[in-house]
Amino acid sequence: MQFNDCFVKIEQNMAGLFLKNEKLCKLLWHNDNNPLAQHMDEDIAQNMLIDFVEEVDGEGNIQLIENPDCRVFFVPFTDLVETPLKSQLRVYTARINPDNIYISEVFVQIDIIVPQQLNKLRNGRRRESILSEVMKTYNGQEIGLLNPLAIVKRPIDIRHFRGTFFGYSVLFSTRVA
């Protein structure tokens, strides 16, 4: 496998694991204070992984526009983009630690970003509920590389991303060849 192919495999397999966790999908999609009582459609869950969609303008030109339904992005959060009021995950390679030219340890970071206005749930807090589901969904899971994903043992601190957007960053490691 080419080194670059590993990053594609990480994204694809982590997206597949996300889709298997209906509770996580509901927590990200529904903005009310009782998201787990809501219905989760499989097509909506799939659409939550698509960051850009094609749109044809009046002259027949294809343009890429941001998908407002996207909740899982495979790039870091940036404050340069105006972010609508929605919870989201940012999944990306945060660090690569090569052992040699063949094997590397790869650190995948998941940022859990929740606007303060959406954090309160009927029975808890959205940020902490999403954090719990992220840890259950990904820790110890096989994603087709040398090692399964493993949470890196370090404190998980609350982060301020921008404005009223707060959350957590969880770091996972795996090995690639």
Q: Domain residue spans in the chain? A: 3-176
What spatial distance separates the first Cα and last Cα of the chain, rounded to whole Å?
Answer: 7
Q: What is the pLDDT of residue 152?
A: 97
Q: What is the pLDDT of residue 57?
A: 86
**Which residue from 68, 114, 111 is spatially nearest to 92, judged by alpha carbons?**
111
Query: pLDDT tens, position by position, for the chain (177 residues)?
Result: 566 788 889 999 999 999 999 999 999 999 999 999 999 999 999 999 998 888 888 898 888 888 999 999 999 988 656 678 899 999 999 999 999 988 999 999 999 999 999 999 998 999 999 999 999 999 999 998 999 999 999 999 999 998 899 999 999 999 998
Q: Whole-structure pTM over 0.85, yes or no?
A: yes
To the nearest 10 degrees (0 to 180), the angle between helices 3-19 and 22-29 is: 80
Tokens 């030219």 sit on residue: 101
Q: What is the pLDDT of residue 2?
A: 63
